[in-house]
Amino acid sequence: MNITDHNFTSLKKHLRFTLSALLPAFIIAFLVMTAGRIIFIHSFTEEAVLKTWGTPVFSVFLEKCVLFDLKYAAQAFLPALLAAFLLGWRQNLCRLYQKIFWIFNLTGFLYVLLLTVINYYYYLTYSRIIDVFFFAFLQEDPIATLKTLYEDYPLISGVLACIAGSALYLWIFSKISTRVSSWIKLPKNKLSTFALIVLVIILDAAALRGSFGTFPLRQNSAQVSSDPLVNLSVPNGPAALHWARKWARQQAVIPEVEISQLQKDYEALGIKAPSADDLYAPLEFTTPKNEFLEKNPPDLVISVQESMSTHMSLYDDAQTRDLFGQLRHHIKEDFWFRNFLSEGNGTMDSLTRILLEVPDLNLSTSTQGERDYITNALRAFKEKGYRIVFVTGCQGSWRDMNNYFRRIGMDEVYEMSTLLQWYPDATSFAWGVDDEYMWRGVLKVLREKHDQPLLVFTLSISNHPPFRVAENVEPKTIELSTEELKRFPYPNTTTLFATYRYANDQYGRFIDEIKKDPKLADHTILAATGDHNMRGIGYDAYPDELALGHAVPFYMYIPRIYQEHDTVIYDPKQWGSQKDLFATVASHSLSHAKMHTLGCDLLGDKDSCRYQFAFNSEAAVPWNSGYVCDLSGIFQFNALKLKDDTDDLRAIASPALKDAPLCKKAQAFSKLERDLYYYQAKHGPKLP
């Protein structure tokens, strides 16, 4: 036998091993994703999918599901196939490949299995498949994240199940691959063998492409129905992660925005385009001149409350299901806006929008965080001599808040470690110190003698999963019906509501302390909102809850003496959003202060505001429109009419509005906000 024949014999053995190994691995991966989808549909989208049964939509749905699972099964074992191709031309390399194949095999299997499981629980928590927020989640504190996973999810049993499943897989795989090897009949001549190799490569490439048509299988391919729940059932976990990575990379790239583009953005909103030398003129906002404020600058406490959800408050009943505690009488006495949206859909997302009006949840840890943004809300208060203090129950190292917030204008940061020094007996959990002790810390700061007026900015943490009520608090039992329980995927729903009540009650007790302290009651202005809606309440199946799904309340207390020297126009049904928070606070605490903002004074002259939208990155309510606009593209409509006879923010699900011209302006507003950020991220001055 010459060397060529020897190599050919070795190649055939290698080919037999490769085919007998990759074929069952590929099929098992396909079946894992298919089984995962069936469980996903049964748990979340069964009703929507069953409605398509017997229709052309179901046939397309089934076809796309199969193609997605074929594509990502091929992707999972692509490294194994490439290694087989590269190592198959020499006998010693073939032996090496057989020894290390188990690594490729187990890695591919775990890739498919883990992402299938993660996608399920991600949807359970966030009501959406894996998306860009997944990568923000990975930046959270690892210890606290593990504790949350341990408390709220079957982490230990899941890990043990994965280990057992992997062992079982390798055992079953060895049996199947041996049987498959005995079935395989390879060609005897070289030409046919090489033709078979080429055929295997072509078939794998076709599976990876997912299509023989003009376009490969891609994210748009998952749009098979007008029902978003059906569409969410099409992709598998690996597909969802692939798309999330792509969008995350695109978001990380800051495009170049020309001055002319910003001018066009203003014009799209009906605003005269500014000159290139005064590009931010349409953002200029000046508070009314007020001599009383000049002589008596108030202290301010602006609070962002973890998951202070308007939807959760709809379950409240003062007699049977008290979800407000001591906060209840304050929202009746003071200013309380229910028609209010969070700007972002995550804590840091909303914080950067509230403080800087920048749509980048990773700003504090990115190179774009080096810029000094014109819409920094703290600048106006610094110019008026305010000392700005940040108090939070969570760790200051989270998202580098400790350092970044100081850079944008905060003078001091008091966080978890500080509060534990002040209150060694403080109760705490995975994410930080309970709200009771945070509010004690805020009162301590306010009561200390200070020559400068104070702005205290707070971030609470207790109402964060894993949900639990502080050890020294008696949880209130909240009774829910079976139908109501369906909206909450948590096994400890009673604790969920008890924690929500605890957070509201503790804030109410803090306000009690402010109002009964003579030195604080007439000298302190309070404002509070939620960072985002409660996680895990699914909205994709409820288009009528497009606005409600992003709603958080806005509370404000202005002492009577300040109201007597001010003009306050309060309409509790007025729509607003977090972009309006600092504009409203500044208008009633700073005299003739200049700032740059997209916000409006919700307690002042509404007609003078240029940007009359309650705005969230996924939904917007133009003022006086009576409808909500979908900015996310999830739903197959532009706008829905809001119900005008209720206070629960729901819309009329059908029919969708055909004529909603202000939705185009809402889209233009979103683009202006984004382009302003891009332009400043490239050309703005750097922070000192």
Q: What is the pLDDT of residues 164-195, one digit of tens each?
A: 888 888 888 888 888 887 887 777 777 777 78
> Is residue 208 over pLDDT 90?
no
pLDDT at residue 157 in the model: 78
CB 307 within 8 A of CB 500: yes
Residue 340 phi/psi, 5-degree rounding, is: -140, 135
Residue 309 tokens read as 């959800």
Answer yes or no: is pLDDT of 363 > 80: yes
- Condensed to tens digits (0 to 9), the pLDDT of residues 383-399 reads 999 999 999 999 887 88
**Residues 6+ away with beta carbon under 8 Å from 416:** 392, 393, 394, 395, 396, 428, 432, 433
- Rounded to a whole number, what is the distance in angstroms from the first to the last CA of the chain? 77
pLDDT band at 635 (very low <50, low <70, confident <90, very high): confident
Q: What is the mean pLDDT of residues 589-616?
A: 95
How far is residue 84's CA from residue 103's CA, in Å, rounded to a whole number?
Answer: 13
Round to whole Å and give the CA distance between 569 and 264. 33
Per-residue pLDDT tens for 565-587? 999 999 999 999 999 999 999 99
Share of the chain above pLDDT 70, in %: 95
Per-residue pLDDT band for 149 (boundaries 50, 70, 90) equals low
Residue 676 in tokens: 């302003």
- The mean pLDDT of 206-223, rounded to a whole number, is 79
CA distances from 557 to 98, 301, 307, 440 (A): 72, 10, 21, 19
So what's the pLDDT on residue 140? 58
Name the band, by pLDDT with cuts 50, 70 and 90, for residue 293: very high
Check residue 606 and give its pLDDT: 87
Mean pLDDT rounded to a whole number for the chain:
88
Band of the pLDDT at 512, cuts 50, 70, 90? very high
Asked if residue 90 has pLDDT above 80, the reply is no
Q: What are residue 528's DSSP bridge partners? A: 303, 555
Query: pLDDT at position 142, please?
Result: 60
Q: Which residues pair with 630 in a beta bridge?
A: 619
Strand order of the sheet with strand 335-337?
335-337, 554-557, 524-530, 299-305, 454-459, 387-392, 412-414
Q: Which of 205-214, 383-392, 410-419, 522-531 is predicted least confidently? A: 205-214
Mean pLDDT for 208-233 is 79
Q: Does residue 678 surpass a pLDDT of 80? A: yes
Token pair 């202290």 is at which residue?
A: 299
Q: How confident is the model at residue 137 (pLDDT cuts 50, 70, 90)?
A: low
Of 401 and 514, which is predicted with more confidence? 514
The predicted structure's pLDDT at residue 6: 55
Range list of H helices, 184-287: 190-209, 228-232, 237-252, 259-268
Residue 503 has pLDDT above 50, yes or no: yes
Instruction: Tell me what pLDDT residue 1 has.
Output: 39
Residue 335 has pLDDT above 70, yes or no: yes
Whether residue 3 is predicted with pLDDT greater than 50 in this model: the reply is no
- Which of 39-43, 79-83, 188-192, 509-513 reaches the highest mean pLDDT? 509-513
Please give the pLDDT value at position 593.
97
- Rounded to 10°, the helix 435-447/493-516 angle is 10
Output the pLDDT for position 225.
77
Residue from 637, 668, 632 nearest 653 by CA: 637
> Which pLDDT does position 151 carry in this prediction?
67
pLDDT tens readout for residues 51-81: 899 888 899 899 999 999 999 999 999 998 8
Predicted local confidence at residue 474, as pLDDT: 79
Angle at the Cα of 289 from the Cα atoms of 283 and 292, rounded to 5 degrees? 140
